[in-house]
Amino acid sequence: MIGAIIGDIVGSRFEFGAVPQKDFELFTPDCSYTDDTICTMAIADAVLNERDYQESLLDWCRRYPDPMGGYGNRFYQWINADNPVPMNSFGNGSAMRVSPIGWLFDEWEDVVEEAKKSAMVSHNHPEGIKGAQCIAETICWLRLMRFSKADVERKVEKFFGYELPPMRDIKKIGSEGHFDATCQETVPMALRCFMDANSFEDTIRLAVLCDGDTDTKACIAGSVAEAYYPVPEWMIEKAISYLPDDMLNILGQFYERIQDSCGPKKR
């Protein structure tokens, strides 16, 4: 979960800002958590405290109505509707918020089902559901099965139909100013960044350097990388310095729940 939050915060200042350059500074005063972190907190809160996914998302998003970068137009309408109904969306929001499910459930059937439930309240298009399921399941594969990257890539293609694009193509899209806002694009792009990286920090950097939807791409890539690489303590400390108390409370509950799964990783 902290991997997703770090990716969100690091990528936040580039989403609608300057094009990221090699060796960019990870954390600056211009960084902030965005809707990615808010929605991730909502999903974690729902599972940890036995809340309905829709109820929790509405609570958190209405509690933080104006995050850096705002909410997507259709999701903003959903948040503020008197009677919110699923939008048949395949936007990448379902995948960027799902990481807690990959950690809080240990049976793959539960992971897939809960990821579907978390997506369907707003992103009920088959591609929106698939994107959430893929990221949650990938996290579960890495943290419980200790699959290799090659195994994960094969399984992602076999079970979810995602063919991960080569990095050169992702960077080309970014350089052309394309904003990758769908699960079909962002999920395989974020996974390729993880596959090609050699550390947690490198994963975040690659995702941001691909430009486009930098905070969400780095959020998704970071959520997966946390299940494979150790996260530097200094990055954790820096990221939590951006978070308000209610988010820190959920983060504390989350890591207390999964502490048995968070031992040192050996690769």
Task: Give the residue numbers of the binding site for Mg(2+).
Answer: 34-36, 213, 215-216
What is the rounded distance in angstroms from the CA atom of residue 156 to the CA atom of residue 171?
21
Coil, strand or helix: which one is 34? strand
Exposed, middle or buried, 25 (CB in 10 Å: 0-12/13-18/19+)?
exposed
What is the dihedral sign for C-alpha 127, 132, 133, 137? Answer: positive
What is the rounded distance in angstroms from the CA atom of residue 204 to the CA atom of residue 199?
9
Q: What is the DSSP string of 49-92?
A: TT--HHHHHHHHHHHS-S-BT---HHHHHHHH-SS-------BT
Residues 206/196, Cβ–Cβ less than 8 Å: yes
Beta bridge partners of 114: none
CA distances from 181 to 3, 85, 198 (A): 20, 21, 26
Coil, strand or helix: which one is 182? strand
Known binding residues: 34-36, 213, 215-216
Report the amino acid identity of residue 39. Answer: C
Helices (H) and strands (E) in the chain, counts: 15, 0
